[in-house]
């Protein structure tokens, strides 16, 4: 049961930032165009999963380039951040081709602190430096106070006047489209 205190706390939060699948797709395509504008195009995409699986796939399709996935976890099943500094890696990279491209783009969906992307980036630089000649990183949603700044991002997310960031509702989040508008799930 929702208490009055809970309602007041939620009223202080900035509105959620929610996107449909179509809006998310367009946002990732805008990221691809930003990357292309620099004159650099990757020949390998590496998505941090779960969150960046869709973005990695969209970029892989856009550039017709191999896509790989790196499983990293900094949140528990309850969607609460694990203890500070805890990160779980699957030390294998799952790839959809027989080899790896040498110009790799590591992508994550969003940053709260930048810790996941930074740790993944540093691990790839250290353990995979014999494979990737160039490794750059990107985020779909980059929160302004993140400590790690990616090479590219699609959307800058800024705090409100109280310093609070909106909750980013990804289109695939359980309960987002299905509960709020079941007809919108396929859009």
Confidence class for position 187, pLDDT limits 50, 70, 90: very low
99 lies in some domain: yes
- What gap in Å lies between CA 36 and CA 24, rounded to an integer? 19
Residue 12 in domain: no
Question: Does the structure show a pLDDT above 90 at 169?
Answer: no
Structure tokens at 145: 């106070």
Residue 60: inside a domain: yes
Whether residue 149 is predicted with pLDDT greater than 80 in this model: the reply is yes
Does 148 score more than 90 pLDDT? yes
Q: Is the pLDDT of residue 41 over 80?
A: yes
pLDDT tens digits along 43-97: 999 999 888 999 999 999 999 999 999 988 665 454 444 445 566 666 667 666 6
Domain presence at residue 136: yes
pLDDT computed for residue 96 by the predictor: 63
Check residues 154 and 89 and name the one with the higher pLDDT.
154
Half-sphere exposure of 13 (CA within 13 A, CB side): 13
Mean pLDDT lowest among 1-15, 23-37, 42-56, 120-134: 1-15
Percent of the chain with pLDDT over 90: 41
Predicted structure pTM score: 0.79
Paired tokens of 26? 């367009």
Q: Report the CATH number that the domain containing residue 175 is assigned in CATH.
A: 3.40.50.2020
| Averaged confidence pLDDT in the chain | 82
The answer to whether residue 44 is domain-embedded is: yes
Owning domain of residue 166: 18-180
Half-sphere exposure of 30 (CA within 13 A, CB side): 13
- Tell me if 67 is assigned to some domain: yes
pLDDT of residue 78: 45
Number of domains present in the structure of the chain: 1
Query: Which CA distances in Å does 162 have to 6, 101, 165?
Result: 18, 44, 9
| Residue 187 is assigned to a structural domain of this protein | no
pLDDT at 80: 46
Q: For the residues 146-160, what does the mean pLDDT come to?
A: 93
Beta-sheet pairing, 88-95 with 67-73: antiparallel
Question: For 101-114, what is each residue's pLDDT tens digit?
Answer: 889 999 999 987 88
The answer to whether residue 164 is domain-embedded is yes
Nearby residues of 164 by Cβ (< 8 Å), 6 or more positions away: 12, 13, 14
| Cβ count within 10 A of residue 69 | 21
């Amino acid at each position: 049961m929702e208490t009055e205190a809970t309602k007041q706390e939620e009223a202080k939060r900035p509105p959620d930032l929610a996107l449909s699948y179509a809006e998310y797709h367009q946002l990732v395509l805008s990221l691809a165009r930003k990357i292309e504008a620099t004159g650099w195009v990757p020949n390998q995409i590496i998505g941090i999963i779960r969150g960046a699986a869709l973005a990695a796939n969209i970029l892989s399709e856009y550039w017709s380039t191999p896509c790989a996935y790196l499983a990293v976890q900094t949140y528990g099943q309850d969607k609460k951040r694990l203890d500070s500094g805890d990160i779980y890696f699957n030390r294998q990279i799952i790839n959809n081709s027989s080899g790896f491209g040498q110009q790799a783009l590591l992508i994550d969906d969003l940053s709260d602190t930048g810790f996941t992307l930074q740790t993944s980036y540093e691990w790839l630089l250290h353990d995979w430096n014999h494979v990737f000649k160039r490794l750059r990183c990107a985020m779909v949603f980059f929160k302004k106070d993140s400590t790690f700044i990616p090479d590219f991002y699609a959307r800058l997310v800024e705090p409100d006047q109280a310093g609070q960031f909106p909750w980013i509702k990804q289109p695939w989040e359980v309960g987002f489209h299905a509960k709020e508008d079941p007809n919108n799930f396929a859009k």
